[in-house]
Structure 1
Amino acid sequence: MPVRSTIHKVVVVGGGYAGTLAANRLRKRDDVDVTLVNPRPRFIDRMRLHQFVAGTGEATADYGSLLGEGVALVVDSATRIDTAARMVRLASGRDLDYDYVIYAVGSTGAIPTSVPGATEFAVPVAEWESAQRVRATLDELPSEAPITVVGAGLTGIETAAELAEQGRTITLVCGGSLAPSLSASTRRSVSRWLSRHGVAVLESAEVTEVRTDAVVLADGDVRPSALTIWAAGFGVPELAATSGLRTDDLGRLLTDETLTSVDDDRIVATGDAAAPSGQPLRMSCQAAAPLGARAADTVLSRIAGTEPAVIDFAFTGSCVSLGRRNGVRQFARKDDTSLNVYLGGRIVAAYKELTCKLGLFKIRLEARKPGSMPWPKGGPRPEQPVSDGRAVASS
């Protein structure tokens, strides 16, 4: 009588760019049972959320078009990973047993509780539900109503630019300098575009209070604001800490350079919620897909009894949309430090649209042909001062 082969159960927690690609890549083996757990029934294309709030694009996709045959989608929220029982506990009361977990819960918008009124009256734009709130509010506001965007990183700039191009009255509060991750020449280009489109850029300004109809700055200036959009910083879900796993100060799961948890070699993290050696990569879609592929390969290596490979991803820069007809492409070294080289104009707007489409194309390609996802290689990262992350862990 033939012996039935062992089926390896893998639960992927989180259906963003990294988790969805990882789920598809796990199908390189036919003895792996893959379950993807996600709280929403549709994929959120986060790179397009600034378009969604402005009404210039959509930001969801059907999982049926993204997941390969055999990947089971469970629409639910994970509340705890029970490492002793090897169970993922779900909000519905259902439990999923596993041999391995890929931890891909992603990142969230983060509004500081230390700023009075911020959690009540400011709205983040980094998640689907809050983006819906922003869009609904915009639909009700007259075009001349003052809008404040807090945070002048790439998310804040893209959101401000999208709305300014439509003729909205926008103030962009930077905190420090405008677009600090970009080179000086690229920042000047972005600044010129914002100025031409009437955006009031307040550098070295800090919001100390948010009111229903205004923001208060550290210098005491009170500026009218019919809608305050918070785009300053990100957080991560607390699932890892709730599950008794060690995290960095932000809550990202601490792993080694193969993305394996420093506490449990059956849990592999990826995307924005992973902190390899306590030194995470920049939160970005650019890094998410390669990290998703690497996490899946780590799990497959452990199933095969071979040594997993370490992270070997190289950044290439950043692409920032400035409305629908302009943008800047910042080039960077492999370690993500900016070069003083950039492109701008309509060609970059077209390039940014292509990169957005490629985000979903890569996932679909992996669904059709598991193992096909390429990425720019940077070789193993430089030796980390804390090899397993333990010295920087927080509990």
Structure 2
Amino acid sequence: MAAGTRVVVIGGGFAGVMAANRLTQRDDVAVTMVNPRPDFVIRLRLHHVVAGVHDAVAPYRQVLAEGVRLVQDTVTAVDAAQRRVTLLGGGTLGYDYLVYAAGSASAEPRVPGAAEFAHPMATLEAARRLRAILDDRPPATPVTVVGAGPTGIETAAELAERGQRVSLVCGDALGAYLHPTARRAAARSLTRIGVDVLAGPGTEVTEVTRDAVRLEDGRTLPSAITVWTAGFGVPDLATRSGLRTDAIGRLITDETLTSVDDERIVAAGDSAAPSGVPYRMSAYTASCLGAHAADTVLRRIAGTTCEPASVFFGAMCVGLGSHAGIYQLAGRDDIANRMFVGGRLGARLKALTYRFAVGHLTREARRPGSHRWLGNNSRRRLLQAQPGPGLAAAERPA
């Protein structure tokens, strides 16, 4: 490949920043990252924005390598044939390789009334709007948080600690990933700080109104403010650009993270579906996949063999307010086991995840190529267990 290889990175989240930083290992690679915001959003802290305890942003000069050109804009189309992207602000950017790290957001809720009366918080702007609404209401205003994944749990806990009357509607289990033993510990911690946890059969939301939430079992919960954390979606950029995606729009790649349509396009983070079997979402996963996406591009430039991605999930951490947390351990199959750390030590471990998540990026910015992570030997077995085309995609030549 001739000197001056152009790489465009779509998205400035954990995956995009890590990929951009790692690509600067080669002086003959020109890296441009396109992102709509001027600052880096620490998405795993958006519940802190809602609670008013952290702004969840960092300047890009802190996390992005000096050699990366930042373009504040939004990509509206990818033209794989012409190797260029179209920008919302006008004009195009040509590329030799493209890293697709477009990220994720909330899915449009299908529950009657939810789109009109419930408040999402999956983006910085949405979290700030919700914070402003909470600031205009008395502390004891009843708040219902719908969705019991990490975001819902952490949001409910933070708001309850600050005096809100909070109900957490799980729809099924509290923290579905957690081992039942850890789940019970989490429920006790939430109850102690005043969260009314509604879990199990009948807790699916059937309707949201201006001042209430109705459940499948017939209960009606007073809710002056309803926070919607259930559901997941990704930008439809890949789909609109004619690239193959899964059912919700994630770019389908092989196990090297290369698009099954074009070897010049490599994906990472929440908007990637390797072999049609996405990795579990987290900032750590996004960073590791971003690093691997960069390695795939660098190997192609160098003319060497690309390797399959592999990320080992050893744990998941959930905050339960400022004084408690659950650090859930897992096996190499990414299934939670009975071992967990709770209470104040769990809270301290959760606080460390915020530091480490951003720290991985800043270290890679200073020393490109330094990020290391453990692989997962169980990935192959997971793919073999999947019906449909997943394994065929996994076996696509590098």
- Scaled by the length of structure 2, the TM-score of the pair is 0.94
Q: Kindly provide the CA deviation profile for residues 137-176 of structure 1, in whole angstroms up to 9, marking residues without a partner as x.
A: 1101101110000001111101101111112100111111
Q: Which residue of 2 aligns with 1:342?
A: 340
Is 1:178 aligned with 2:174? yes
Identity %: 54
Q: Distance in 1 between matches of 2:285 and 2:333?
A: 12
Look up the SS of the partner of 1:58 in the other structure: coil
Amino acid corresponding to residue 78 of structure 1 in structure 2 = V
Counterpart pick for 2:18 among 21, 25, 45: 21
Amino acid corresponding to residue 51 of structure 1 in structure 2 = H
Q: Which residue of 2 aligns with 1:278?
A: 276
Q: Distance in 1 between matches of 2:118 and 2:91?
A: 35
Look up the SS of the partner of 1:123 in the other structure: strand
Q: Which residue of 1 aligns with 2:323?
A: 325
Range that drifts further, 212-221 or 241-250: 212-221
Look up the SS of the partner of 1:178 in the other structure: coil
Amino acid corresponding to residue 182 of structure 1 in structure 2 = L
Q: Distance in 1 between matches of 2:378 and 2:295?
A: 15
Q: Which residue of 2 aligns with 1:140?
A: 136
From the superposition, tell whether residues 301 and 176 of structure 1 become closer, same or farther in structure 2 (CA, over 3 Å).
same
Is 1:165 aligned with 2:161? yes
Is 1:67 aligned with 2:64? yes
Q: Which residue of 2 aligns with 1:230?
A: 228
Q: Distance in 1 between matches of 2:34 and 2:308?
A: 26
Q: Distance in 2 between matches of 1:81 and 1:226?
A: 42
Q: CA deviation at 1:7?
A: 0.8
Look up the SS of the partner of 1:324 in the other structure: coil
Look up the SS of the partner of 2:276 in the other structure: coil
Is 1:193 aligned with 2:189? yes
Q: Kindly provide the CA deviation profile for residues 195-250 of structure 1, in whole angstroms up to 9, marking residues without a partner as x.
A: 11221111130111111111122233222111111111211110110110011112
Contact 1:311/1:380 (8 A) holds in 2: no
Counterpart pick for 1:43 among 18, 40, 54: 40
Aligned residues: 386
Q: How does 1:112-123 map to 2 (within 5 A)?
A: 112=109, 114-123=110-119
Look up the SS of the partner of 1:108 in the other structure: coil
Contact 2:333/2:378 (8 A) holds in 1: no
Q: Distance in 2 between matches of 1:181 and 1:137?
A: 31
Q: CA deviation at 1:115?
A: 1.3
Contact 1:268/1:295 (8 A) holds in 2: yes
Contact 2:316/2:327 (8 A) holds in 1: yes
Counterpart pick for 2:359 among 335, 358, 361: 361
Contact 1:104/1:271 (8 A) holds in 2: yes
Is 1:152 aligned with 2:156? no
Q: Distance in 1 between matches of 2:393 and 2:77?
A: 22
Look up the SS of the partner of 2:360 in the other structure: helix
Counterpart pick for 1:54 among 51, 54, 62: 51
Q: CA deviation at 1:5?
A: 5.2
Q: How does 1:286-297 map to 2 (within 5 A)?
A: 286-297=284-295
Q: Which residue of 2 aligns with 1:393?
A: none
Q: Kindly provide the CA deviation profile for residues 255-275 of structure 1, in whole angstroms up to 9, marking residues without a partner as x.
A: 000000000110000011110
Q: Which residue of 2 aligns with 1:94?
A: 91
Q: CA deviation at 1:388?
A: 4.4
Is 1:387 aligned with 2:391? yes
- Scaled by the length of structure 1, the TM-score of the pair is 0.95
Q: Distance in 2 between matches of 1:286 and 1:318?
A: 10
Q: CA deviation at 1:57?
A: 1.7
Contact 1:13/1:105 (8 A) holds in 2: yes
Look up the SS of the partner of 2:391 in the other structure: coil
